[in-house]
Amino acid sequence: MNIALVTYEPVGKYTGAGVEQEDALLTNQLKSCGHRVTAEIWSDPAVDWRSYEVVVLKSPWDYFDRITEFYAWLDTLERLAVRVLNPVATVRWNSDKKYLLDMQAAGVRIVPTHWLPRGSRFVPETLFAELQTEQLIVKPAVSGGAKNTFSLRPVEAATRTSELDTLLAEEDFLAQPFLTQIQTEGEWSFIYLGGKFSHCVLKTPKLGDFRVQHYLGGGVELRPAPAHLLRTADDIVARFAQGCLYARVDGVEVEGDFLLMELELIEPFLYLDADKKAPQRYEEALRSLI
């Protein structure tokens, strides 16, 4: 196949995150199987997307900083009838964390969430009471890479209220209770390729932090998938990631149950280097979909 592997500009911004290394690993795997692979920046107006058999959204990591432009680009791909993986409609739905409301309405257990619409005010006293927590996590509805993500105790929340009101004037946010299980037990990521479970990792924050991203100092360890958690992840992917080349289900175990934190269907890091057979599974999933 002639494949466009979609990336971002400027390439190199997330080198510490391993984005380029994973893209290179995947590119080498696809080329070794006879495919033609070209890295294309999604925002480059000179790209002829119709010249490719399939456009794979691998690492458009700046989409959330340019969301209006990104939506316009998705509209263009639809108009050109380009084959996109993951599907455009799914990507558009997944770009705003309000998708969690849809999943919750369908019976998926998510981390308790209070939505803060654009133009509203940040009232920490109300949030601490409603979410029954002593520590809040507040983040944008359209975001990635822990951008503008706050971990707030009551005293800190009071001092950051003005800053959050300013941010809320520009975009939607959400507030969730901090789950201590993230620090004590870690956050699970289940990776699926072509709708089939591939591998999973357990992510843990560095000492004193709440963010599990490996490029922020978090730890990542390949682990066997706990059967009771995998069943929930399987169900989520079967219902909400149909026709997807890749999916990552992030969540935490609380009292034996899996609470969903994110369903990543746009540009997730897939930890392809954690399992040596994962790149092969990726290529097989791509061939089976096309």
Hey, what domains does the chain have and what are their CATH numbers? 2-85 (3.40.50.20), 99-109+181-283 (3.30.470.20), 114-177 (3.30.1490)
**Mean pLDDT value across residues 225-247:** 98
pTM: 0.92
What are the tens digits of pLDDT across the range 12-38? 555 555 778 999 999 999 999 999 999
Q: Is the pLDDT of residue 84 over 60?
A: yes
14 contacts 215 by C-beta, under 8 angstroms: yes
Q: Answer for the pair 140, 166: CB distance below 8 angstroms, yes or no.
A: no
pLDDT confidence of residue 218: 60
User: What does the pLDDT read at residue 12?
Assistant: 55
Average pLDDT over residues 230-247: 98
- Which tokens is 212 given? 């599990």
Query: In terms of Cα–Cα distance, which of 99, 107, 105 is closest to 257?
Result: 107
* Cα–Cα dist 24/8, whole Å: 14
pLDDT digits (tens, 9 = 90+) for 34-65: 999 999 999 999 999 999 999 999 999 999 99
Average pLDDT, the chain: 92
Is the bond preceding residue 86 a cis peptide, omega within 30 degrees? yes
Lowest mean pLDDT among 18-22, 79-83, 89-93: 18-22
Across the beta sheet with 246-254, what order do the strands follow? 219-223, 196-204, 187-193, 246-254, 257-264
Torsion of the alpha carbons at 231, 236, 237 and 241, rounded to the nearest 10: 170
In this prediction, residues 232-249 reach a mean pLDDT of 98
Write the pLDDT tens digit of every residue in 169-224: 999 999 999 998 888 889 999 999 999 999 999 998 755 555 545 554 467 899 99
pLDDT score for 162: 96
pLDDT at 145: 72
Give the angle subtended at the CA of 160 by the CAs of 94 and 155, to the nearest 5°.
Answer: 115
Q: Say what percent of the chain tops pLDDT 70.
A: 93
- Which tokens hold the place of 154? 């009551």
pLDDT tens per residue, range 97-141: 999 999 999 999 999 999 999 999 999 999 999 999 999 999 999
- Average pLDDT rounded to a whole number, residues 267-275: 95
Short-list 223, 168, 175, 178, CA closest to 201: 223
Given pLDDT bands bounded at 50, 70 and 90, which one contains residue 233?
very high
